[in-house]
Amino acid sequence: MMTQPIQMFENLTSETAPAGGNALTKLGFSFEDRRLIERQARYARAALLADSLTDAILWVRRQVQRFTAAVKADFKLRAAEAQLHRMSDRELADLGLCRADISFAVREAAGETPQFDAVTGVVIAANQNLRRAA
């Protein structure tokens, strides 16, 4: 049975020292130099974390702004449609509309025109549900 040789304490690694001993002392760095390098590394990690957190917060803020703008635009479109639906058929005819054209006319005026398939001429739905029902 072979036994392992006893290792000296300096050769053992710990959580604070890299494997194989401290490379900074082997390169001739003093204790103050090592402290300065460690301090700079801590500062760089903290700056990276702060920048990442700031970017994440700004991204969430932009997403919330986009969502609220979309909801407000949808409310405006629905209000315009409701106003046209409250009109009589005669008033709609004066505008050159019929009841079936109200939602198309409102969305066209808002710049949300539906897309037509060039081959068949069929209107492509804006909210296509591509998943199939199980």
Q: Is residue 4 part of a domain?
A: no
User: Could you give the C-alpha distances from 130 to 118, 125, 126, 133, in angstroms and in order?
Assistant: 20, 11, 12, 10
Q: Is residue 11 part of a domain?
A: no
Q: Is residue 28 part of a domain?
A: yes
pLDDT 10s digits, 46-85: 999 999 999 999 999 999 999 999 999 989 999 999 999 9
pTM above 0.85, yes or no: no
Q: Is residue 12 part of a domain?
A: no
Number of domains forming the structure of the chain: 1
Contact 114, 88 (CB under 8 A): no
Q: Is residue 71 part of a domain?
A: yes
Q: Is residue 64 part of a domain?
A: yes
Contact 37, 24 (CB under 8 A): yes
Domain that holds residue 51: 22-113
Q: Is residue 119 part of a domain?
A: no
